[in-house]
Amino acid sequence: MFEVTVEAGFSSGHYLRNYHGKCENPHGHNYRVLVTLAGAELDEAGLLLDFKLLKTLLRPVVDYLDHRMINDLSPFTELNPSAENLARYFFEETSRALLEKTGGRVHVKDCTIFETDTSFARYYE
Ligand SMILES: [Zn+2]
């Protein structure tokens, strides 16, 4: 199997509902997201997927959240914007975009969200 990973960053505010502690108050993070794809077949150029294309697919998802209060944005008006839920959100959004582009040749293996340099959450199926 082959894997490729791209990384992007965004700076956003959030707060956690149903949580008692500092993170129940609005605050910001310089988030980093890593999206890893996996597949057994390379294209004619020897690529699993062009990094540039993957970055293009990731960009609208990042732009949606960047410099916003995540709690104000669907689906996080209902869903708590934890690192775990953000990781699943990136997984689902990039999976959908990727399916349209590659017809299933390549799939998203996992998405990782760093809230800080030392704390991250990962989602995979
Ligand atoms: Zn936080």
Q: What is the pLDDT along the chain (125 residues), one digit of tens a residue?
A: 999 999 999 999 999 999 998 889 999 999 999 999 999 999 999 999 999 999 999 999 999 999 999 999 999 999 999 999 999 999 999 999 999 988 888 999 999 999 999 999 999 99
Q: CATH code at 77? A: 3.30.479.10
Entry pTM:
0.95
CA of 68 to the centre of ligand 1 (A): 13
Contact 115, 78 (CB under 8 A): no
CA–CA separation, 55 and 18 (whole Å) = 34
CA of 30 to the centre of ligand 1 (A): 10
CA of 46 to the centre of ligand 1 (A): 40
Residues spanned by the domain of 12: 2-123
- Can you give the C-alpha Rg of the chain in angstroms? 15
Number of domain units in the chain: 1
CA–CA separation, 8 and 27 (whole Å) = 20
